[in-house]
């Protein structure tokens, strides 16, 4: 079968289109004929050697959507999507014609969703859910500040938070980036270009601060987010800026009895990610959880162009969500 492949890390020049044997699924696995597979920033970091979990030689690709062609009879012929575990890092991933995965992570595609769209769902949903529900334990009636609100993970986080009965505060890089009207269930938008984040959060919460802050940006946003927390508030970090180290006032931190959580989606097992996606499926079916990418924001490329697409994404030449179609 055809697959993207790298034998060592460090440069995108190591990524090639290769012919390799089709994977053979184990006893608790299924073989999926890949119909679409998203390219995520972590896939690019994978080839560049920035993901410590990676072993080589390797086929990258964390998210997939396709049709089960081997496995339990009740699953063969099913249209499924999924992500998680060490897919693309410690075992061959989805940027290929076929991928073998545990049956637990092959989740039925919600009705009315294309393969291309389904291929973009996995990572944003498991990341947002692991942060808001598993780590922070967000509850009805609480207020949550979400940075990077209009990005893929941010949009999913907004829909999950709203479905839980939380009040959402969102951020935008400028006034022009704030979505119009009722596009998202955000109670209050904060313009990072002109507003002081902690001050505006306090104003929007009657001086309390946010019960939960979900920081998807990191770097310079970290301390501002921490200063936006209510007493005993919980902050979740999932990313870092170019500078890995951050600073904050430790006395303010412990006087506020703040809680800090780190969430790494790579650490989630196949069983955990499968359970998350299955639990969210009804909301995906009904539209309670809209797709983070509308069809017009997804650009499909044939697998043969995969190497160039990786390069174009790394250099910022593609603005849409890139999906490979074998």
Convert the pLDDT of each residue in 93-129 to its tens digit: 999 999 999 999 999 999 889 999 999 999 999 999 9
Q: What is the pLDDT of residue 296?
A: 85
Q: Where are the alpha helices (DSSP H) in 164-269?
A: 197-204, 221-226, 250-255
Q: Where are the alpha helices (DSSP H) in 130-255?
A: 152-163, 197-204, 221-226, 250-255
CA distance 303 to 317: 18
CA distance 176 to 167: 23
Q: What is the pLDDT of residue 95?
A: 98
CA distance 86 to 52: 11
Computed from CA positions of residues 266, 272, 274, 280, in that sequence, does the dihedral angle turn out positive or negative? Answer: negative
Low-confidence ranges of the chain (pLDDT < 50): none
Helix (H) or strand (E) holding 31: strand 29-38
CA distance 172 to 129: 22
CA distance 38 to 274: 17
Q: pLDDT per residue over 49-79, tens digit each? A: 999 899 999 999 999 999 999 999 999 999 9
| pTM (global) more than 0.75 | yes
Q: How many CB atoms lie within 10 A of CB 106?
A: 26
């Amino acid at each position: 079968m055809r697959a993207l492949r790298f034998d060592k890390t460090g440069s995108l020049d190591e990524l090639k289109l290769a012919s390799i044997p089709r994977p053979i699924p184990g006893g608790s696995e299924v073989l999926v004929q890949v119909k679409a597979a998203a390219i995520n920033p972590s896939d690019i970091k994978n080839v560049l050697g920035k993901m410590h979990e990676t072993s080589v030689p390797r086929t990258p690709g964390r998210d997939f959507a396709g049709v089960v062609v081997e496995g339990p009879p009740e699953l063969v012929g099913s249209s499924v999507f999924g992500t998680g575990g060490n897919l693309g890092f410690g075992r061959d991933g989805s940027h290929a014609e076929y991928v073998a995965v545990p049956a637990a992570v092959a989740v039925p595609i919600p009705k009315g969703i294309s393969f291309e769209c389904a291929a973009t769902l996995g990572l944003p949903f498991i990341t947002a859910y692991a942060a808001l529900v598993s780590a922070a334990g967000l509850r009805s009636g609480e207020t949550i500040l979400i940075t990077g609100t209009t990005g893929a993970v941010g949009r999913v986080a907004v829909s999950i938070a709203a479905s839980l009965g939380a009040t959402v505060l969102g951020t935008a890089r400028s006034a022009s980036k704030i979505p119009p009207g009722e596009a998202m269930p955000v109670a209050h938008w904060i313009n990072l270009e002109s507003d002081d984040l902690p001050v505006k959060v306090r104003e929007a919460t009657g001086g309390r601060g946010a019960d939960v802050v979900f920081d998807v940006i990191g770097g310079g946003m970290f301390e501002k987010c921490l200063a936006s927390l209510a007493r005993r508030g919980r902050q979740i970090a999932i990313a870092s800026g170019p500078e890995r180290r951050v600073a904050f006032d430790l006395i303010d931190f412990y006087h506020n009895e703040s809680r800090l959580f780190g969430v790494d989606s790579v650490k989630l097992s196949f069983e955990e990610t499968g359970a998350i996606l299955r639990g969210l499926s009804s909301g995906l079916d009904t539209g309670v959880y809209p797709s983070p990418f509308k069809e017009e924001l997804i650009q499909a490329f044939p697998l043969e162009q995969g190497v160039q697409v990786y390069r174009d994404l790394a250099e910022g030449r593609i603005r849409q969500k890139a999906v490979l179609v074998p």
